[in-house]
Structure 1
């Protein structure tokens, strides 16, 4: 069985978060979704558990970071092309997300970022692996 990852994120309003990600074309696993949590499906092995802050506190003794002022993590998603990077980030911004960092364009790698409604930082990246390997072999970065 392939290893899976479940990223757990606190959210202030679960319905707002679910609506945001649905507008980006993602779905939720109903087996792990209720009034306190929603299992956001990125792929067969990658999930984000969106947890109400009260439910999130059940799993930690630490304070919940205020993502509006503190960066707790930067979550990166791959994309199949430069165009797909733009499509996903543009959809995120249209769905209520906000801009994050400036776009990164290295020719063989392109990325943009956004913040979701709870201010979690997301990057969407495309990499042409063959072009990156050629650039590296030629002494580039």
Structure 2
């Protein structure tokens, strides 16, 4: 139920994806040089804010709990074959995006796979965060 006096989310709300990384420079380079994100700003060598596909992406190095998140430590993925978060990029042509990204250095798990209504392929950033490129067909 929406409260007209206190709408949420309102037009001023923006979504930021946070990815915990082990090497900020390496991850920033991958997201900028391979996927085409643009650097907005960096903070103290521990975080970088990127603009990517109409949204914000925050790369942060791991860290211990803080007063605003007691008991919660940030850590990069430990097992690349066990995924709890993935990012999907909807593209008009999966095979063309695959070739472009591969030429820029992305390593894919497999070539684009045609599921009939969708063609998709998966790559990982340097810390193992799963990124899917997906094309809706027909």
TM-score normalised to structure 2 length: 0.71
Q: Quick check: 2:47–2:58 contact (8 Å CA) kept in 1?
A: yes
Write the distance in 1 (CA, Å) between the matches of 2:103 and 2:86. 19
User: Which one of 79, 89, 97 corresponds to residue 85 of structure 1?
Assistant: 97
Matches within 5 A, 1:41-56: 41-44=51-54, 46-54=55-63
Extract unaligned runs of 5+ from structure 1: 132-141
In structure 2, relative to structure 1, the CA distance for the partners of 1:106 and 1:2 (3 Å cut) is farther
Q: Contact 1:89–1:113 (CA<8 Å) still a contact in 2?
A: no
Over 3 Å counting, the alpha-carbon distance change for 1:23 and 1:63 in structure 2 is: closer
Q: What runs of 5+ residues in structure 2 fail to find an aligned partner? A: 1-10
Residues 94, 133 of structure 2: 8 Å contact kept: no
Q: Which residue of 2 aligns with 1:99?
A: 108
Q: Which residue of 2 aligns with 1:74?
A: 86
Q: CA deviation at 1:114?
A: 0.5
Do residues 9 (structure 1) and 19 (structure 2) align?
Answer: yes
Residue 40 of structure 1: aligned partner = 50
User: Which structure shows the higher helix fraction?
Assistant: 1
Give aligned pairs, total.
122
